Amino acid sequence: MTPDATGVDAVIDAVTAVFLVLGALMSLTATIGLLRFPDLMSRMHAATKPQVLGLFLLLAGIGLQMRQWWVWPVLAVAWIFQLLTVPVSAHMVGRAGYRTKHLHPELLSVDELEAVVRRAASEQEEQTEAGAPKDR
Amino acid sequence: MSRKPISLRTELPLLIWLVIVWGALWRDFSPGNLLFGALIAVVVARIFYLPPVELSGRFNVLRAIPFALVFLAKVVAASCQVIYLAVAKGPKVVNAVVEVPLRSHSDLMVTATGHVISLIPGSLVVEVDRSTSTLYIHGLDIRDEADAAKLCKEVQDTEAGLIRIMGSKAELAALEAETAPPAPPAHTKGETP
Amino acid sequence: MKDIVLIATAVILTLAAAGAIVRIAVGPSLLDRVLASDVLLGIVGAALAIDMAVNRHLNNLVLLVALTLIGFIGSVTVARFVSDRRGQANDS
Selection from A104-108, B49-53, B91-95 with the highest mean pLDDT = B91-95
- Chain B residues whose CB is inside 8 A of the A77 CB are 20-21, 24-25
Nearest to A113 by CA among A101, A124, A125: A101
Domain boundaries, chain B: 8-47, 61-179
What pLDDT sits at residue B61?
79
Among A117-131, B131-145, C28-42, the least confident range: A117-131
Q: Do C65 and B25 touch (CB under 8 A)?
A: yes
- Chain A residues whose CB is inside 8 A of the C3 CB are none
ipTM: 0.81
First to last CA, chain C: 48
Q: Do C53 and A97 touch (CB under 8 A)?
A: no
pLDDT tens digits for range B76-88: 888 888 888 888 8
Average predicted confidence (pLDDT) for chain A: 79
What pLDDT sits at residue A57?
92
Instruction: Specify whether the backbone of B154 is left (phi greater than 0), alpha (psi in -120 to 50) or beta.
Output: alpha
User: Which residue would you say has higher pLDDT here, B131 or A59?
Assistant: A59
A106 pLDDT more than 60 = yes
Domain boundaries, chain A: 8-104
Nearest chain B residue to C65 by CA distance is B25
Tell me how many degrees the CA angle C40-A79-A56 measures, rounded to the nearest 5: 75
Mean pLDDT of the C12-29 span: 89
Q: Which residue out of B95, B142, B152 would a mutagenesis test of the A interface target, given it has the greatest number of A Cβ atoms within 10 Å? A: B95
Nearest to C1 by CA among A63, A16, A60: A16
What pLDDT sits at residue C21?
92
What pLDDT sits at residue C17?
93
B2 pLDDT more than 60 = no
pLDDT tens digits for range A20-71: 999 999 889 889 888 888 888 888 888 888 888 999 999 999 998 888 888 8
Contact of B165 with chain A, judged by CB distance below 8 Å, is answered with no
Nearest-Cα distance to chain B for A54, in Å, is 9
Nearest chain B residue to C66 by CA distance is B25
Domain boundaries, chain C: 2-84
Share above pLDDT 70 across residues of chain C, in percent, rounded to a whole number: 89
- Chain A residues whose CB is inside 8 A of the B142 CB are 109-110
User: Which residue would you say has higher pLDDT here, B72 or B4?
Assistant: B72
What pLDDT sits at residue B181?
59
